Amino acid sequence: MGYKTLCFGFFCILFAYCIYLPVPEDVEEPWKVRIISAIIKMTSFMATWLGEYIGLLKYEDVIVTLSTVHFTKPVSDENITVIDTKFSNIPARLYLPKRKSERQRPAVIFIHGGAFVLGSYKMSAYDDLNRWTANKLDAVVVGIDYRLAPKYPFPAALDDCVYAIKFFLQKNILAKYRVDPSRICIMGDSSGGTLTATVTQLLQNDPNFKNKIKAQALMYPGLQILDTLLPSHQEYQHGPVLTREMIIKLACLYVTEDKVLPQAALKNEHMPTESRHLFKFVNWSDFLPEKYKKNYVYTEPVLGKLNASYPVLVDSRLSPLLVNDTQLQSLPLTYIVTCEHDLLRDDSLIYISRLRNVGVKVTHEHIEKGIHGALSFTRAPVFLNLGFKIRDKYINWLEENL
C-alpha cells in the first residue's frame, strides 16, 4: 500500500508540475492547451524513465502504444462508404461518397503526421477529418498508412507514400473510383506535411506524373533538419505541446537509433562539413519576415563535429527545403497553415518565402493563437476549437481551389 501511495503521490506532483508550466498568454483555450501539454510531457517523461533509466520499454514504444488507444475501424455511415484496402501493398483507407454524381469527383490524398514514428489514418481525429472532407467536398479521400520508424527508417515512409500515390494515379484506378484526374490534392499534417512536400516534388520531377497533382496542402510541417535552432525552435523549445527535445528525439529515429545523433542535434552540431553549401536554402536570416526574427541572431551550426556519418542528413528527400529554386518553381498550387506558438513555424515561413520568390501561388493561413497538432485534438477527452477552425479553413480553400 505504501508503494502504491508513493507512486500516486509522485504522479500527482508530476502532473501538477506539468499543468502549471507556462503557456503563451495569447494562446487559444489556454487551460485545454495546458492539459494537452501536461499529458504529452508526462508521457514523454514516463517513456524516458521506462526506456532510458529502467530499460523496460523503448522511448518510442511507450509513445506509440498510447497513441493506438484512439484507433478506429473502417465504419461506413449514411453518407460515406469507408473501406480498408491496399495500394501497391501499402495499407490505405478509402472514403467514398454515397450520393450519386453525374460528374467525376475530386480526390484528396491524406498523409498523417507523427514524427515518422507514430500515427495512422486510423486515429479517430484523422478518421473524422477524412470523413468530413469526403462529405463536404463530395470527394474521394485516400488515407495512407506508411511504415514507421525506427523499425523502418528513411526512406521507407516516403517510398510507401510514393508507391501508394502512383498506384492511385493510374488511369484505371482513377476511373474505378470516378476521380477527376485534373482535381487531385495531396495533404499532410506535421511530418505528414513533410512527406507531402517531398512526394509532390518527386512527382513533379517524374515525367510520367508531372502536373498530375493540382494542389498540395501542408499543415504546420517540419521541412528541414539542418538547423535545429531557428528562432521558433528557441522561442518554443519547451512547448506548448511539442518540446524541442521530444521532436528531435523522435525525428532522429527516422534516420537512426544511434543516441549520438539526437544528442548532437540538440546542440546543433550534427551536420557534416560537406553540408555547408546547403545552408543557403534554410538560412532564416535571409528568408524569415522581420517580425519573426525578433532579437535572435543567426549563427551557422557547428559542422563536422559528429564523428558518425549519416549521409541521409543532406538528402532533400528528408528535408524538402534543400531542393533548388528550379525544382520549387514547378510546384503546384500550395496551401500552408502555420501556428504562431509552434516550434516548427519557421520551417514553413522559409518555405513560403522561397516558393513565392520563384512564382508559386501560395495561400498562407497563419493562426496567431495556434499551436502545433491542433487537427489531432478534435476528439474527447480534450478537444480544441482551434482544430475545427483550421479544418474549416482548409475545407473552404479546397472548395474554392480544387
Catalytic residues: 190, 342, 372
Tell me whether strands 90-97 and 80-87 are parallel, antiparallel or unpaired. antiparallel
The grid cell for 270 is 550534427
Distance from C-alpha of 33 to C-alpha of 131, rounded to nearest angstrom: 25
The grid cell for 321 is 527545403
Beta strands in 112-260 (DSSP E): 140-144, 179-189, 215-219
Residues 298-305: contacts with CB within 8 Å, 24+ apart?
299/229, 301/226, 301/227, 301/228, 301/229, 301/268, 301/269, 301/270, 301/271, 302/267, 302/268, 302/269, 303/271, 303/272, 303/273, 303/275, 303/276, 304/272, 304/273, 305/264, 305/269
DSSP 3-state of 384: coil
DSSP 3-state of 91: strand
Distance from C-alpha of 250 to C-alpha of 116, rounded to nearest angstrom: 8
Burial bucket for residue 374 (CB in 10 Å: 0-12, 13-18, 19+): buried
The grid cell for 86 is 491496399
Task: Name 198's Cβ contacts closer than 8 Å, sequence gap at least 6.
Answer: 158, 316, 317, 318, 320
Distance from C-alpha of 56 to C-alpha of 61, rounded to nearest angstrom: 10
The DSSP symbol for 362 reads: E
Smallest CA-to-CA distance from 110 within 143, 74, 140 is with 143
The alpha carbon of residue 66 and the mean position of all alpha carbons in its chain are separated, in whole angstroms, by 18
